[in-house]
Amino acid sequence: MLGGLLVCASALAQAPDLVLVNGKIHTLAAKSTVAEALAIRDGRIVALGNFAKVKPLIARSTRVVDLKGRTVIPGLIDSHMHAIRAGLSFSTEVNWIGARSIPEALARLREAARTRKPGDWLIVAGGWTPEQFAEKRVPTQAEIAEAGGDHPVYIQLFYGWAMLNPKGFEALGIREDKDVPPAGKLDRDASGALTGGISGNTPTITGLFARLPKPSFEEQIEGTKAFFRELNRLALTGVIDPGGFGMAPPDYQALFSIWREGGLTLRVAYTIFAQGRGKELEDYKNLTQLLPMGFGDSWLRFNGIGENVAWGVYNNDAPTEAAREQFYEICRWAASQGMALNIHWHNDSSVWMVLDTFERVNKEIPIGNLRWTLVHLEDAAEDTLKRMKALGVGWAMQDAGYFEGEAQLKAKGEQALRRMPPMNSALYIGVHVGAGTDAHRVMSYNPWVALRWMLDGKTVGGRALRGPEETPTRENALRMYTLGSAWLAFAEKERGSLEVGKLADLAVLSKDYFKVPVEEIGEIESVMTVVGGKVVFER
Ligand SMILES: [Zn+2]
């Protein structure tokens, strides 16, 4: 009798919380199986296979979802997204991501003008390109002034150009070039009249942006939650976050607060961006004394330093000897702490500086298990990939070519573009590749747009640039967006594929990624996203 009760009690304790049946569940396990049903308990996958295998586990307390033949994939993980920064202002900014024409973009501005408090700034802080508009141009100041009504308006294009309406110029007190240091120039037309545009470089634009009002702490929390739900809607369940311009310790407090209350719907592995110029190493030492590598839990984890490791080598093809030596010192320190490191690098022609440094450090302190990562490097040569493989260095690869393909074509030529980025070579050589977007200032955060681009090589303007030799299969593209990114976060044993014992992070898709024509992949969304067994998005 007592024995019977115990069995009952333990059977109840064993009952899954959630069971998915009647689906096409792509596990991305080593053998690439497709299962029909999956059971989740306490945030993890407890059974997977055909319906007969899962059915006996179902109890009255179990929620059973009939997938009606839909496709399920492991939750997507973006290997490089400035998601913490994007979240801070998501509820107070306007975004033009995916807008197909200038009227559509202006309508979003007009809608914000109608709903925001009088006098609030309307800010479009990147994430768009004129190539995405049918008109293939930037809006005029008259257009944004009309749409913005009584509000000051700020429109940013990448990190080289911005446009304000007259109210924006007035609010920031900008009248001439010297009002937009360090390198800003007010655009003028042929007759010398101001057009509303401001041209400059990254310091100009980040300096300008820093003058705009910051969202309140409540707005930051609201924005972060809303942004993470937006990512869940697109089947994302995790990101690796590299900080970004202007990201300092106070900018992490909204995220930490949501994590403390157990409110995250997205797993975040974050790294520290260089703080003070010239005192980078001192800052890292101070900031990480109580923050050892890997500290955190499966929702929020500290993942080392970067993308800006040191200002002197950041997005710089020709750093000084002193900057390279400082970079070496920081790398050596990171290795001594067992710390991961990721670094932005754009051009293969100069990447030897990074690899030489890594090799030099590796001779003193092995870095093979630290998963150091090169970010971007769209034109990586085969030799570079081989050196990376030998060092155990991973590659965070993004769809920069989707927005910038035409510009890359001008700079590097058709032949070079055919193999950019060399995804198949990297996989063949054995480099771990994590896919992502680098959103949201320079790119849309939509992973489906990135996946489509990985498969067809077409820019937002519709030009196909990559050749078939570097175009991955659909499965390999998806693996880069799941297991590949998970590896960069030291999490491939916990997530990135659907296997018994792993965290239940998955998405049920609106269309079959494996079957729809490639053009339709960009429109895929999730109909149900599960993170750690919790349904975080449902349509
Ligand atoms: Zn970045």
Q: How far is the CA of 157 from the centre of ligand 1 (A)?
A: 15
CA-to-CA distance for 468 and 518, rounded, in angstroms? 14
CB 153 within 8 A of CB 165: yes
Q: How far is the CA of 69 from the centre of ligand 1 (A)?
A: 37
CB 353 within 8 A of CB 313: yes
Q: Beta strand pairing status for 267-272 and 300-305?
A: parallel
Q: How far is the CA of 242 from the centre of ligand 1 (A)?
A: 7
The pTM of this model reads 0.92
Q: How far is the CA of 307 from the centre of ligand 1 (A)?
A: 7
Q: How far is the CA of 81 from the centre of ligand 1 (A)?
A: 7
Q: What is the pLDDT of residue 13?
A: 60
Helix%, strand%, coil% for the chain, nearest 5: 40, 20, 40
Q: Is the dihedral of CA 532, 535, 536, 538 positive or negative?
A: positive
Cα–Cα distances (Å) from 375 to 73, 299, 438, in that order, read 25, 23, 9
Q: How far is the CA of 345 from the centre of ligand 1 (A)?
A: 10
Q: How far is the CA of 434 from the centre of ligand 1 (A)?
A: 14
Q: How far is the CA of 80 from the centre of ligand 1 (A)?
A: 6
Q: How far is the CA of 268 from the centre of ligand 1 (A)?
A: 15
Q: How far is the CA of 11 from the centre of ligand 1 (A)?
A: 48
Q: How far is the CA of 441 from the centre of ligand 1 (A)?
A: 9
Q: What is the pLDDT of residue 246?
A: 86
- Spatial strand order in the sheet of 37-41: 44-49, 37-41, 18-21, 63-66
Residues forming a β-bridge with 185: 199
Q: How far is CA 89 from the centre of its chain?
A: 16
DSSP string, 303-366: EEE-SSS-GGGTT-SS--HHHHHHHHHHHHHHHHTT--BEEEE--GGGTHHHHHHHHHHHHHS-
Q: How far is the CA of 231 from the centre of ligand 1 (A)?
A: 17
Q: How far is the CA of 403 from the centre of ligand 1 (A)?
A: 15
Q: How far is the CA of 344 from the centre of ligand 1 (A)?
A: 7
Q: How far is the CA of 369 from the centre of ligand 1 (A)?
A: 23
Q: How far is the CA of 240 from the centre of ligand 1 (A)?
A: 10
DSSP string, 462-480: S-B---GGGPPPHHHHHHI
Q: How far is the CA of 323 from the centre of ligand 1 (A)?
A: 20
Which residues are within 8 A (CB) of 54 and not within 5 positions of it... i.e. 6 or more apart? Answer: 16, 19, 21, 37, 38, 39, 47, 48
Q: How far is the CA of 363 from the centre of ligand 1 (A)?
A: 29
Mean pLDDT by 10 residues, the chain (539 residues): 45 82 97 96 97 95 97 98 96 92 97 93 94 95 97 96 97 96 95 96 94 95 97 98 94 98 98 96 97 97 98 95 97 98 96 98 98 97 98 97 92 95 98 96 92 96 95 98 98 98 98 98 98 97
Q: How far is the CA of 437 from the centre of ligand 1 (A)?
A: 9
Q: How far is the CA of 534 from the centre of ligand 1 (A)?
A: 29
Q: How far is the CA of 382 from the centre of ligand 1 (A)?
A: 23
Q: How far is the CA of 356 from the centre of ligand 1 (A)?
A: 22
CA-to-CA distance for 291 and 492, rounded, in angstroms? 22
CA-to-CA distance for 368 and 423, rounded, in angstroms? 21
Q: Tokens 């050196």 label which residue?
A: 387
Task: Of 337, 328, 329, 342, give the one whose Cα is nearest residue 271.
Answer: 342
Q: How far is the CA of 443 from the centre of ligand 1 (A)?
A: 10
Q: How far is the CA of 347 from the centre of ligand 1 (A)?
A: 15
Q: How far is the CA of 246 from the centre of ligand 1 (A)?
A: 13
Q: Beta strand pairing status for 194-199 and 161-164?
A: antiparallel
Side chain identity at residue 446, one-letter code: N
